Structure 1
């Protein structure tokens, strides 16, 4: 007979939330690395605002940087140079 309340075996939702947490953390780290590499093309204010957005708005912040921010920073750099 299987014990449903075994504290040593995590429940399915615990495993699922752990996977989500790892994915969100990885996405944030990737976005911060990308931001750091692109920082030369941004003003200080832009870099700080993007970093705050990436860190303070889970999922949407990193996705916004990866989808929009780094391209906008590259386009501004091309136009100014």
Structure 2
């Protein structure tokens, strides 16, 4: 069902933006609970979209930290090269 996925994704993206802006990391759960009172199907699609966004954020943070560490290590080894 394309409509449910589109609605859930849009709301999830807006929620992630608000969570970042206001520092409320539980906002998505409150919204999910509110949605569930009228549409359990939309609630599940929304929570799935939120979990995907949150997992991507964690993965991206780890990736960026890992790359920074690898670049720092590579930089240190370049500094030791007398050539």
Q: Which structure has more helix as a fraction of its residues? A: 2
TM-score by length of 2: 0.39
TM-score by length of 1: 0.40
